[in-house]
Amino acid sequence: MGHATVEHSLVDNSRLITYLVSQLLALNNGMLLHAAAVVKDKKAFLFLGIAGSGKSTIAALSRRYTVLGDDVIIIRRRGKSYYALPTPWRQQPFIKFRKGRNAKIAAIFFIKKFKEVRFSPLAPEAALANMLASHIHFLSFTEGVFLRKVFSTASGLVKAVPAYEMEFGKESDFWPELEEAVDGA
Protein backbone atom coordinates (compact mmCIF):
# COMPACT_ATOMS: atom_id res chain seq x y z
CA MET A 1 0.00 0.00 0.00
CA GLY A 2 1.53 3.30 -1.11
CA HIS A 3 1.92 6.38 1.06
CA ALA A 4 -0.79 8.33 -0.82
CA THR A 5 -3.25 5.46 -0.30
CA VAL A 6 -2.62 5.46 3.44
CA GLU A 7 -3.22 9.22 3.69
CA HIS A 8 -6.42 8.93 1.66
CA SER A 9 -7.61 6.11 3.90
CA LEU A 10 -7.03 8.21 7.02
CA VAL A 11 -9.05 11.08 5.58
CA ASP A 12 -11.94 8.70 4.83
CA ASN A 13 -11.79 7.27 8.34
CA SER A 14 -11.80 10.70 9.96
CA ARG A 15 -14.87 11.67 7.94
CA LEU A 16 -16.57 8.46 8.96
CA ILE A 17 -15.78 9.08 12.61
CA THR A 18 -16.97 12.69 12.34
CA TYR A 19 -20.20 11.49 10.70
CA LEU A 20 -20.79 8.90 13.43
CA VAL A 21 -20.15 11.49 16.14
CA SER A 22 -22.61 13.88 14.45
CA GLN A 23 -25.30 11.17 14.48
CA LEU A 24 -24.65 10.21 18.12
CA LEU A 25 -24.83 13.87 19.11
CA ALA A 26 -28.11 14.23 17.21
CA LEU A 27 -29.69 11.55 19.39
CA ASN A 28 -28.38 13.24 22.53
CA ASN A 29 -29.48 16.86 22.08
CA GLY A 30 -26.39 17.92 20.21
CA MET A 31 -24.79 18.63 16.85
CA LEU A 32 -21.49 19.49 15.19
CA LEU A 33 -21.27 23.05 13.87
CA HIS A 34 -18.84 24.44 11.32
CA ALA A 35 -17.77 27.22 13.68
CA ALA A 36 -15.12 28.73 15.90
CA ALA A 37 -15.86 29.16 19.60
CA VAL A 38 -14.25 31.52 22.08
CA VAL A 39 -14.91 31.62 25.82
CA LYS A 40 -14.69 35.00 27.54
CA ASP A 41 -15.84 35.57 31.11
CA LYS A 42 -17.21 31.98 31.24
CA LYS A 43 -19.49 32.66 28.22
CA ALA A 44 -19.07 31.01 24.82
CA PHE A 45 -19.36 32.99 21.62
CA LEU A 46 -19.90 31.04 18.39
CA PHE A 47 -18.58 32.29 15.06
CA LEU A 48 -20.17 30.46 12.13
CA GLY A 49 -18.83 30.74 8.63
CA ILE A 50 -18.11 28.80 5.50
CA ALA A 51 -14.54 27.85 4.61
CA GLY A 52 -12.43 30.98 4.17
CA SER A 53 -14.84 33.31 5.98
CA GLY A 54 -12.51 34.01 8.91
CA LYS A 55 -13.16 31.46 11.67
CA SER A 56 -9.44 30.78 12.15
CA THR A 57 -8.70 34.51 11.95
CA ILE A 58 -11.23 35.17 14.73
CA ALA A 59 -9.67 32.37 16.81
CA ALA A 60 -6.19 33.85 16.30
CA LEU A 61 -7.42 37.37 17.17
CA SER A 62 -8.98 35.92 20.36
CA ARG A 63 -5.97 34.06 21.77
CA ARG A 64 -6.08 36.07 24.99
CA TYR A 65 -9.30 34.20 25.80
CA THR A 66 -10.03 30.46 25.77
CA VAL A 67 -10.42 29.25 22.20
CA LEU A 68 -12.36 25.97 22.05
CA GLY A 69 -11.83 25.51 18.33
CA ASP A 70 -11.54 27.26 15.00
CA ASP A 71 -13.44 24.93 12.67
CA VAL A 72 -15.67 22.31 14.31
CA ILE A 73 -17.50 22.76 17.62
CA ILE A 74 -19.78 20.42 19.54
CA ILE A 75 -23.08 21.93 20.65
CA ARG A 76 -25.07 20.26 23.46
CA ARG A 77 -28.36 21.16 25.06
CA ARG A 78 -28.60 20.68 28.81
CA GLY A 79 -32.01 21.59 30.16
CA LYS A 80 -32.90 24.93 28.59
CA SER A 81 -29.28 26.00 28.03
CA TYR A 82 -26.86 25.32 25.17
CA TYR A 83 -23.15 24.67 25.60
CA ALA A 84 -20.13 24.75 23.29
CA LEU A 85 -17.49 22.04 23.66
CA PRO A 86 -14.24 21.42 21.80
CA THR A 87 -13.72 18.42 19.55
CA PRO A 88 -10.65 16.22 19.99
CA TRP A 89 -9.78 16.74 16.31
CA ARG A 90 -6.82 18.78 15.22
CA GLN A 91 -7.34 22.53 15.11
CA GLN A 92 -4.83 25.41 14.98
CA PRO A 93 -1.60 24.72 16.94
CA PHE A 94 -2.40 27.39 19.56
CA ILE A 95 -5.66 25.60 20.48
CA LYS A 96 -5.08 22.97 23.14
CA PHE A 97 -7.79 20.34 23.58
CA ARG A 98 -8.82 19.80 27.19
CA LYS A 99 -11.48 17.24 27.96
CA GLY A 100 -14.37 18.61 30.00
CA ARG A 101 -13.90 22.21 28.86
CA ASN A 102 -17.22 23.79 27.90
CA ALA A 103 -19.19 26.99 28.34
CA LYS A 104 -22.77 28.19 28.04
CA ILE A 105 -23.37 29.90 24.69
CA ALA A 106 -24.04 33.63 25.03
CA ALA A 107 -24.27 34.66 21.35
CA ILE A 108 -23.99 33.38 17.78
CA PHE A 109 -22.30 35.33 14.99
CA PHE A 110 -22.53 34.61 11.27
CA ILE A 111 -19.28 36.09 10.02
CA LYS A 112 -18.17 37.89 6.88
CA LYS A 113 -14.87 39.58 6.12
CA PHE A 114 -15.14 43.33 5.66
CA LYS A 115 -13.13 46.54 6.15
CA GLU A 116 -14.98 47.57 9.30
CA VAL A 117 -16.50 45.91 12.33
CA ARG A 118 -20.31 45.85 12.21
CA PHE A 119 -23.03 43.83 13.89
CA SER A 120 -26.64 43.38 12.82
CA PRO A 121 -29.14 41.42 14.94
CA LEU A 122 -30.79 38.44 13.25
CA ALA A 123 -34.28 37.12 13.93
CA PRO A 124 -34.31 33.51 15.13
CA GLU A 125 -35.89 32.39 11.83
CA ALA A 126 -33.10 33.99 9.79
CA ALA A 127 -30.44 32.53 12.08
CA LEU A 128 -31.98 29.07 11.77
CA ALA A 129 -32.19 29.30 7.97
CA ASN A 130 -28.55 30.39 7.81
CA MET A 131 -27.44 27.63 10.18
CA LEU A 132 -29.35 24.92 8.31
CA ALA A 133 -28.07 26.13 4.93
CA SER A 134 -24.37 25.53 5.55
CA HIS A 135 -23.19 25.19 9.13
CA ILE A 136 -24.38 21.83 10.51
CA HIS A 137 -22.02 18.97 9.73
CA PHE A 138 -23.52 16.12 7.69
CA LEU A 139 -27.03 17.60 7.74
CA SER A 140 -27.67 16.49 4.15
CA PHE A 141 -26.83 12.88 5.14
CA THR A 142 -29.05 12.92 8.22
CA GLU A 143 -32.50 11.33 8.07
CA GLY A 144 -35.49 10.34 10.13
CA VAL A 145 -35.34 10.74 13.90
CA PHE A 146 -31.74 12.03 13.65
CA LEU A 147 -32.84 14.88 11.38
CA ARG A 148 -35.77 15.80 13.64
CA LYS A 149 -33.43 15.86 16.65
CA VAL A 150 -30.86 18.09 14.89
CA PHE A 151 -33.64 20.44 13.74
CA SER A 152 -34.98 20.59 17.30
CA THR A 153 -31.54 21.36 18.71
CA ALA A 154 -30.81 24.02 16.08
CA SER A 155 -34.20 25.73 16.40
CA GLY A 156 -33.97 25.68 20.20
CA LEU A 157 -30.49 27.17 20.06
CA VAL A 158 -31.48 30.16 17.92
CA LYS A 159 -34.55 30.79 20.08
CA ALA A 160 -32.50 30.71 23.30
CA VAL A 161 -29.40 32.59 22.14
CA PRO A 162 -29.21 35.93 20.28
CA ALA A 163 -27.74 35.82 16.78
CA TYR A 164 -26.01 38.49 14.70
CA GLU A 165 -24.43 39.03 11.33
CA MET A 166 -20.85 40.12 11.99
CA GLU A 167 -18.50 41.89 9.62
CA PHE A 168 -14.87 42.28 10.61
CA GLY A 169 -11.42 42.99 9.22
CA LYS A 170 -8.38 40.78 9.42
CA GLU A 171 -6.62 43.09 11.89
CA SER A 172 -9.73 44.06 13.86
CA ASP A 173 -10.02 44.11 17.62
CA PHE A 174 -13.72 43.38 17.36
CA TRP A 175 -14.29 42.47 21.01
CA PRO A 176 -15.31 45.95 22.29
CA GLU A 177 -17.96 46.27 19.54
CA LEU A 178 -19.06 42.66 20.07
CA GLU A 179 -19.62 43.22 23.79
CA GLU A 180 -21.51 46.44 23.05
CA ALA A 181 -23.75 44.66 20.50
CA VAL A 182 -24.49 41.76 22.90
CA ASP A 183 -24.96 43.93 25.99
CA GLY A 184 -27.17 46.38 24.07
CA ALA A 185 -29.54 43.64 22.92
DSSP E strand stretches across the chain = 30-40, 43-48, 66-69, 72-78, 81-86, 103-113, 118-122, 163-168
170 phi, psi to nearest 5 deg: -60, -30
Q: Which amino acid is at 18?
A: T
Start-to-end C-alpha separation, the chain: 57
CATH code that applies to domain 3-184: 3.40.50
Rg (CA), the chain: 16
Over the stretch 91-105, which tens digit does the pLDDT of each residue have? 787 787 777 789 999
Over the stretch 133-184, which tens digit does the pLDDT of each residue have? 989 988 888 889 999 999 999 999 999 999 999 999 877 789 999 999 888 7
